Amino acid sequence: MDQEIIPHLFRTEYRKIVSVLCRHFGFGQIEIAEDLASDTFVTAAHTWGIKGLPPNPTAWLYNVAKNKAKNHLQRNSLFYGKISPELVNATPQFYETDIDLSPQNINDSQLQMMFAICHPAIAPEAQIGLSLRILCGFGIDEIADAFLSNKETISKRLYRARERLREEKINIEIPNDREIDQRLAPVLTTIYLLFNEGYYSLSSNNTLRKDLCLEAMRLCTMLVENQQTNKPAVNALLSLMCFHASRFEARVNKNGEHILYEDQDTTLWDTDLISKGVYFLNCAATGTDLSKYHIEATIAYWRTQKPDNMQKWQTVLGLYDQLVQLAYSPMAALNRLYVLAKVKGNIQAIAEAEKLHLTGNQFYYVLLGELYTGLDKQQARHNFEQALLFAKTGADKTLIKNKISGLCI
């Protein structure tokens, strides 16, 4: 049996099974839904290890998940029937209803779950964390990395969020039009973080995890295709992901190492995805609200355009100026400085970079190393060596070591 098949299917199917079971059981039994889904994969690992891979592994998983859910409900019914017959007679016999794992019901369940988890009764960080766990199949370590936190904090946060869902008796459904906008922001943040984890993974030794990126795009496409959630910011986010995804094949070499933007083979860029990005960016150009996704998508659009002339980079610098004012983040500030160097030179970019004081951030030191290269080899080496201390992935370490070696040439 292919050793990668179980982890791959867990990443793609676990979240779908959990969403359908949660919708069927309600949030009162959310842990049971997660346990049944997990147990399905334990059964698969044991059975497939002995009997080999079935002809349709996904259908096999769905069938086993359905049976486990029905068996659980039947056992509960028998248990409560012996203890309190009047209680079981008053309880709907859910096990007699088919557990629907059809593509349409999976999509509907995931869409409703996204908005139910992002109920205002749940703290914003807990909304996103629980969404990443249930809807995206993230492990605790991955969620902790996304929040720059630790496992203990994240585990407690998710526990409290689950308790809150039960206490508030939140229904798994699409909210009314008045509440859509309020809940849409954390939904989009979840999808954005999912794509980012795939596009640049800190939680594994892979530079690029396409399966996560494609799942984020699928979830966002669901929002675009739903009349209630087809909003400008949603289209802008989908546009952003299309532009980034268009450069997948050019971002890593055959050894899985990261290829910098300036060194990418532009003939490998996917022109169809670039065209889709333009389409969704045009769809986003309605209304009066400007989201960070609008700006980031426009920046990503310009990065797919050649040639690299001064007018292009001046335009991109202006967009980064808007972005850091609207939605500041350390990565946005650092990316802005890369562009500033192209427009106004390395010396001015160094002066602004050193004001950020982002010590402990590998990308801060990589930026300074790049900016000092050609100006001061000693300072360039020092900063690359500092970056190496904080690098998490093997691909990053290799890239930085190559930069240090290049200074000796």
Are 14 and 88 in the same domain? yes
Q: Is residue 145 part of a domain?
A: yes
Q: Is residue 183 part of a domain?
A: yes
Residue 381, exposed/middle/buried by CB under 10 A (0-12, 13-18, 19+)? middle
**Residues pairing with 258 in the sheet:** 252
> What's the pLDDT score for residue 90?
47
Q: How many domains does the chain have?
A: 2
Q: Is residue 307 part of a domain?
A: no
Are 93 and 146 in the same domain? no
Share of the chain above pLDDT 70, in %: 91
Q: Is residue 406 part of a domain?
A: no
**In 3-state terms, what secondary structure has residue 240?**
helix
Cis peptide bond N-terminal to 85, omega within 30: no
Are 58 and 92 in the same domain? yes
- Segment 59-96, tens digit of pLDDT: 999 999 999 999 988 886 655 455 555 544 544 444 44
298 or 215: which leads in pLDDT: 298
Are 170 and 82 in the same domain? no
Are 15 and 88 in the same domain? yes
- Segment 163-179, tens digit of pLDDT: 888 888 888 888 888 88
pTM assigned to the model: 0.83
How far apart are the C-alpha atoms of 73 and 70, rounded to whole Å? 5
- Segment 35-45, tens digit of pLDDT: 999 999 999 99
What share of residues in the chain are helix, strand, coil (percent, to 5)? 75, 0, 25
CA angle (98, 95, 103) in 5-degree steps: 25
How far apart are the C-alpha atoms of 29 and 23, rounded to whole Å? 10
Mean pLDDT calculated for residue range 375-399: 91
* Nearest residue to 66 via CA among 125, 16, 7: 16
With cut-offs at 50, 70 and 90, classify the pLDDT of residue 376: very high
Are 90 and 122 in the same domain? no
Q: Which residues lie closer than 8 Å to 202 by C-beta, 6 or more apart?
A: 145, 392, 393
Are 118 and 145 in the same domain? yes
Report whether pLDDT(47) > 90.
yes
Which residue, of 203, 221, 241, is where some domain finishes?
A: 203
Mean pLDDT calculated for residue range 370-387: 94
DSSP code, position 246: T
**Residues pairing with 252 in the sheet:** 258
* Nearest residue to 212 via CA among 235, 194, 187: 194
Range of the domain at 140: 103-128+135-203
Torsional class of 127: left (φ above 0), alpha (ψ -120 to 50), beta (otherwise): alpha
Which residue, of 175, 203, 231, is where some domain finishes?
A: 203
200 or 205: which leads in pLDDT: 200
Mean pLDDT calculated for residue range 380-393: 92
Q: Is residue 48 part of a domain?
A: yes
CA angle (252, 256, 261) in 5-degree steps: 20
How far apart are the C-alpha atoms of 318 and 168, rounded to whole Å? 45
- Segment 223-246, tens digit of pLDDT: 999 998 999 999 999 999 999 999
Q: Is residue 212 part of a domain?
A: no
> What's the pLDDT score for residue 88?
47
**In 3-state terms, what secondary structure has residue 252?**
strand
> What token pair was written down for 265?
């083979």
Q: Are 154 and 147 in contact (CB under 8 A)?
A: yes
How far apart are the C-alpha atoms of 196 and 141, rounded to whole Å? 15
Q: Are 158 and 129 in contact (CB under 8 A)?
A: yes
Are 84 and 168 in the same domain? no
Which residue, of 181, 203, 225, is where some domain finishes?
A: 203
Report whether pLDDT(268) > 70.
yes
Are 27 and 114 in the same domain? no
Report whether pLDDT(276) > 60.
yes
End-to-end, the C-alpha distance of the chain in Å comes to: 47
With cut-offs at 50, 70 and 90, classify the pLDDT of residue 207: low
- Segment 315-360, tens digit of pLDDT: 999 999 999 999 999 999 999 999 999 999 999 999 999 999 898 8
Are 8 and 94 in the same domain? yes
Report whether pLDDT(291) > 70.
yes
- Segment 14-24, tens digit of pLDDT: 989 999 998 88
Report whether pLDDT(204) > 60.
no
- Segment 81-138, tens digit of pLDDT: 555 555 445 444 444 457 889 988 998 898 898 888 888 888 888 888 888 888 777 7
Are 174 and 189 in the same domain? yes
How far apart are the C-alpha atoms of 38 and 18, rounded to whole Å? 9
> What token pair was written down for 319?
């967009």
> What's the pLDDT score for residue 91?
47
> What's the pLDDT score for residue 169?
86
- At residue 22, what are phi and psi to the nearest 5 degrees? -65, -45
Q: Is residue 150 part of a domain?
A: yes
308 or 207: which leads in pLDDT: 308
Q: Is residue 196 part of a domain?
A: yes
> What's the pLDDT score for residue 92?
47
Mean pLDDT for all residues in the chain: 87
Place of tokens 């779950």: 113
Mean pLDDT calculated for residue range 140-144: 84
Mean pLDDT calculated for residue range 42-53: 93
Are 159 and 181 in the same domain? yes
Count of CB atoms situated within 10 Å of the CB of 264: 16
Q: Are 17 and 35 in contact (CB under 8 A)?
A: no
